[in-house]
């Protein structure tokens, strides 16, 4: 085909009654022109237009099958939601809701009230507030409690969490002044004591999250920090990052942090908690009230779908056994490896792959050193791109020239979908 053989937009779209046809045809023709100039035949333009129109109508945000073995995978939407949480979203989102209406009083209510009581019950805190995400929670807490004044942070905790989110930057944006305490590997309570003064507004502890300093290290216990904060009459804010509500090896729970003397504790809704994106702050009622009244609260507030999903998730935690069964993140974390092995075996049998021992990860900055024994089905590396292009896309891990499909982060049904995808891509 030569350039002069290309149809006009009119000719290409003549028999197609689609409002998107002209834009799509323009794109198809532009690509065809480039291909002809590069000496490539552009093929069937009508078929291409059809494809272009189909993909223009396909949702861009869609589900994928996570065969990476990383449970809280930041690039893959972090926590898959419990069914009970999704049910709340559908119920609340479908029609009107009492989001900011007090049904008993027939008057204006607060969107925060729907999750405050259950967060208090689950963590033992006096009060709670929920915002858009944990970075927002930190920004709000720092702005409300320390604007124009000093915040003490250990040099070992001035971390970058991911995607350029750095604790020192958030601090500066909140209007607070960062005072670095101690050294990268060793910080003692006495270092905080020495740095505290009349301009100190807050002591901040940041959970080290996605890394560990090993060897000659020292960090004060939270209770020691709480004692320093109390002596200087300033609050202690503990940013847990992941923040579990159930005991989980060495990942601190919000309850434990409050019990050790933190005045406020903040954590994400979509990491180990296994719920929707949210920034949860629990702790002293007078401090939470200052966060509620701060103008940034309005800018950072949680939306009704997130609140509905969060309430649906938190309700499961009232019965920890139920949470372990029904919160996908917890289920994947605690699943015994023989069950994962059986799933890998079934997948391997279905696609003619081999079972490989792998190491799953928690992800989301939690328990960075903890390795979850896991099993994958290994298939040929040439499937990587086709599986990504499949619907739904299948994302695995390439190792030693093979594609590993890790079965810790797949359900039984998803495993069957992966098997079908592998067959379709061969």
List of residues contacting ligand PLP (CB under 6 A): 133-135, 161, 206-207, 209, 239, 241-242, 268, 279, 365
Q: Which is nearer to ligand PLP, 66 or 209 (CB)?
A: 209
CB of 132 to ligand PLP, least distance (A): 8
State in angstroms the smallest separation of the CB of 11 from ligand PLP.
Answer: 51
Q: Are strands 160-162 and 150-154 parallel, antiparallel or unpaired?
A: unpaired
* 244 SS3 class: strand
Name the residue nearer to ligand PLP (CB basis): 78 or 114: 78
**Nearest CB to ligand PLP, comparing residues 302 and 379:** 302
Cα 236 versus chain centre, distance:
25
- Shortest separation between residue 228's beta carbon and ligand PLP, angstroms: 21
Our CB check for ligand PLP shows the closer of 239 and 356 to be: 239
Q: Of 373, 386, 344, 391, give the one whose Cα is nearest residue 67.
A: 344
| Position of minimal CB gap to ligand PLP | 241
| Distance of closest approach, residue 14 Cβ to ligand PLP, in angstroms | 50
Q: Which whole-number Å values give the CA distances from 258 to 35, 286, 315, 339, in the listed order?
A: 64, 15, 21, 36
Specify the residue, 241 or 396, whose C-beta has the smaller distance to ligand PLP: 241
- Residues in a beta bridge with 209: none
Residues 6+ apart with CB under 8 A from 337: 372, 373, 374, 375
Distance of alpha carbon 228 from alpha carbon 154, whole angstroms: 13
Q: Identify which of residues 271 and 290 has a Cβ nearer to ligand PLP in the complex.
A: 271
How many other β-carbons are positioned within 10 Å of the β-carbon of residue 396? 25
Angle between helical axes of 304-317 and 113-123 (0-180°, round to 10): 30
Q: Residues with Cβ < 8 Å from 118, sequence gap 6 or more?
A: 311, 314, 315, 318
251 alpha carbon, distance to own chain's centre:
17
Least Cβ distance, residue 68 to ligand PLP (angstroms): 18
Q: Judged by CB, which is closer to ligand PLP: 125, or 141?
A: 141
Nearer to ligand PLP, 25 or 237 (CB): 237
The least CB distance from residue 158 to ligand PLP, in Å, is 11
204 pairs with which residues across the strands? Answer: 237
CB 376 within 8 A of CB 408: no
Residue 164 CA to its chain's centroid (Å): 15
Handedness of CA 362, 367, 369, 373 (dihedral sign): negative
CB 6 within 8 Å of CB 33 = yes
């Amino acid at each position: 085909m030569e350039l002069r053989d290309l149809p006009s937009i009119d000719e290409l779209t003549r028999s197609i009654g689609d409002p998107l046809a002209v834009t799509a045809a323009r794109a198809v023709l532009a690509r065809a022109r480039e291909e002809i100039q590069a000496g490539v035949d552009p093929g069937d333009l009508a078929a291409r237009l059809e494809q272009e129109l189909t993909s223009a109508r396909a949702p861009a945000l869609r589900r994928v099958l996570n065969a990476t073995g990383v449970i809280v995978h930041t690039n893959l939407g972090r926590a898959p939601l419990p069914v009970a949480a999704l049910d709340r979203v559908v119920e609340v989102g479908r029609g009107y809701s009492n989001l900011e209406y007090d049904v008993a009083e027939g008057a204006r209510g607060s969107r925060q009230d729907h999750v405050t009581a259950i967060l208090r019950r689950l963590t033992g805190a006096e009060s709670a507030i929920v915002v858009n995400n944990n970075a927002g929670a930190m920004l709000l807490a720092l702005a409300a409690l320390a604007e124009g004044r000093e915040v003490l942070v250990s040099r070992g905790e001035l971390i970058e969490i991911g995607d350029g989110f750095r604790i020192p930057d958030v601090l500066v944006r909140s209007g607070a002044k960062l005072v670095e305490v101690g050294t990268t590997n060793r910080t003692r309570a006495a270092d905080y004591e020495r740095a505290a003064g009349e301009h100190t507004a807050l002591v901040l502890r940041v959970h080290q999250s996605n890394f560990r300093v090993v060897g000659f290290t020292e960090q004060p216990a939270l209770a020691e920090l709480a004692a320093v904060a109390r002596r200087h009459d300033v609050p202690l804010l503990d940013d847990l990052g992941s923040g579990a509500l159930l005991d989980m090896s060495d990942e601190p729970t919000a309850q434990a942090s409050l019990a050790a003397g933190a005045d406020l504790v903040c954590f994400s809704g979509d990491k180990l908690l296994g719920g929707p994106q949210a920034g949860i702050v629990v702790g002293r009622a007078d401090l939470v009230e200052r966060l509620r009244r701060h103008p940034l609260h309005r800018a950072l507030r949680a939306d009704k779908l997130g609140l509905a999903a969060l309430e649906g998730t938190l309700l499961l935690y009232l019965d920890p056994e139920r949470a372990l069964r029904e919160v996908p993140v917890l289920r994947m974390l605690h699943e015994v490896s023989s069950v994962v092995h059986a799933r890998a075996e079934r997948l391997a049998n279905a696609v003619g792959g081999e079972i490989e021992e792998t190491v799953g990860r928690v992800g989301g900055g939690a328990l960075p050193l903890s390795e979850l024994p896991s099993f994958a089905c290994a298939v040929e590396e040439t499937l990587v791109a086709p599986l990504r292009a499949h619907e739904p896309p299948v994302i695995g891990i390439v190792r030693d020239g093979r594609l590993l499909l890790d079965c810790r982060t797949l359900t039984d049904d998803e495993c069957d979908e992966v098997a079908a995808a592998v067959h379709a891509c061969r």
